[in-house]
Amino acid sequence: MSQAAGRQSIFITGAASGMGRETARLFHEKGWFVGAFDVNPAGLAALQAELGAVNCIIQTLDVSDKSQFDAAVATFGAATGGRMDILFNNAGIIMRGFFDEMSFEDQLKIINVNLIGVLNGTHAALPLLKDTPNALCFNTSSSSATMGMPLIAVYSASKHAVKGLTEALSNEFRRFDIRCADALPGLIRTGMTSDEFLAKAPDQGPFRLIEAVEVAKVVWASYHSEQLHWYIPEDLAGLDKAAGDNPELLRDKLGRHMEV
C-alpha cells in the first residue's frame, strides 16, 4: 500500500511558508495526504514535523528546473499510488522597482519562477492528473493580473500569463476530466509582503490586508466548484470589470500611487 493509503492528495509548490503552508495545514485537517515542495528545506522540515511524516512528503524543489519538477512528481506519485487530486502551482517571487532600473537577470528570475514554473508543473503532473478522476489544476495568479501595475511590471505580466493559461486549459483539459482554476489574491500577509506595505494597508476596500489562510480556503472551495477565477477578497473582481470598461481611467488611477 502507498504512503497515502488511499487518501486524496494535493501537490503544493511554495509550501514552506505563506499561502502554501496554510493550504498544507488545511488539507491535512481535511484528511488529505500532502506533498509539500519548496526551495526552503528548513521550512519544509518544520511543516513535516507539524503534520507528521505519515501524512506528507517533503522535497526541495526549484520550480524553474523541469528536471527537478519531474523528480518531485515521481516521488509524489510513488507515495500516492499514482494519484494527484490537486496540483497547486503556488510558488512565486516578486521584486519591486521601475522596469528600467531592474536588472534583466532579475526580470528573468520572475518569469522563470512565476510562469515557467507553472508550465513545468503542469507538464510534469499531467499524467497523474489524467489518472485521477475529477482532478484540479489550481494556479496562483494575482490581483495584478487584472491590470498591468506599475513598479511590478514583469511580475504583473507573469501573472497575466498564468491567468490566461488557466483560462485556456480550463477548456482544453475537459478532455481529461481535469478542471482548472486560479486565485487572484490582493494584499496577503506572507513573507513576500514587506513591513512597509503591511503598515500602509488600508482597513477596508479591495486592498485590505488578508490572512494567508483565506487563500487556503479558496483552494478547498475550488475543488468543490466549477468556478474559474477566485478573487481574494471577492471585491477585487471589480478591478477586472474596471480594466475592461475603462482601462485608461484605471491606468491613471494606478499611476498616481507610484512609490518604490
The answer to whether residue 231 is catalytic is no
Nearest CA among 13, 69, 21 for reference residue 49: 21
Catalytic-labelled residue, pool 155, 223, 230, 231: 155
Q: Are 10 and 222 in contact (CB under 8 A)?
A: no
By annotation, the residues acting in catalysis are 155
